[in-house]
Chain A
């Protein structure tokens, strides 16, 4: 009984936060909307028993990424008013039309055919194994996915070095 109530509450909060990100005039409000969305999505992860991922979401996103966003907003300051006319003509209406077509196709597939978005569970695994504890996540991560793990380590190093290089960039005096 808890899951449906929390699901409705948290998905409403997530969508409200997302709308705030897009609609707010002040970038700080957008960052706060993003914070709300990230926390709500973390609760949705917990509802699906992905405990470690939810914790990492709060620590990495709400802790590190959002702080970085706020820091840059404070550094740059609130920019001058955006202008809303589109440089590419009919770009927005074109994309809205395409999105409408995609949504209608998805709705048609869901309601008028017996298309299965998530195929039936692969045999032999029991649901208790998908509870996302640290141990359960670590086992596939360091066996099947170990190459991806090493690649992300390399990626993080490169990203940190690149960010430092960009931050230390000085224009040469003419």
Chain B
């Protein structure tokens, strides 16, 4: 018995929804970052499932590049969070309003 691609995509959709709701619910910048990682993982899972269903290795190569971009994004994002924290001593995104005109 083989689990079809649609089941993996269902799980991925659920992961993506949980990540999206977390991004909207939480105010801690670190947790919001983790929720973005969840959503990226959900997309990776759909790519792998589609690649297998289509007999195409392109899905796996694309996931590889997404992993690299996600790692770069985390590096820069966490550096920004640390820089903000050194200025403001908070990681809550609601209190960052210095750009308000």
Q: Which residues of A contact B (CB under 8 A)?
A: 1, 3-4, 7, 11, 14-15, 18-19, 21-22, 27, 30-31, 34, 37-38, 41, 44-45, 47-50, 52-53, 56-57, 60-61, 64-65, 68-69, 72-73, 75-76, 79-80, 82-84, 87, 91-92, 95-96, 99, 103, 106, 110, 117-119, 121-122, 125-127, 129-130, 132, 136-137, 139-141, 144-145, 148-149, 152, 155-156, 158-160, 162-163, 166-167, 169, 171
What are 24 A-B contacts with C-beta separation under 8 Å? A7-B7, A18-B22, A21-B18, A21-B22, A21-B38, A22-B26, A38-B41, A50-B48, A50-B60, A68-B74, A69-B30, A76-B91, A82-B26, A82-B27, A110-B6, A118-B53, A122-B56, A125-B55, A129-B55, A130-B51, A130-B56, A130-B57, A144-B58, A158-B72
Chain B contacts with A in 44-100, Cβ cutoff 8 A: 44-45, 48-58, 60-61, 63-65, 67-76, 78-83, 85, 87, 90-92, 94
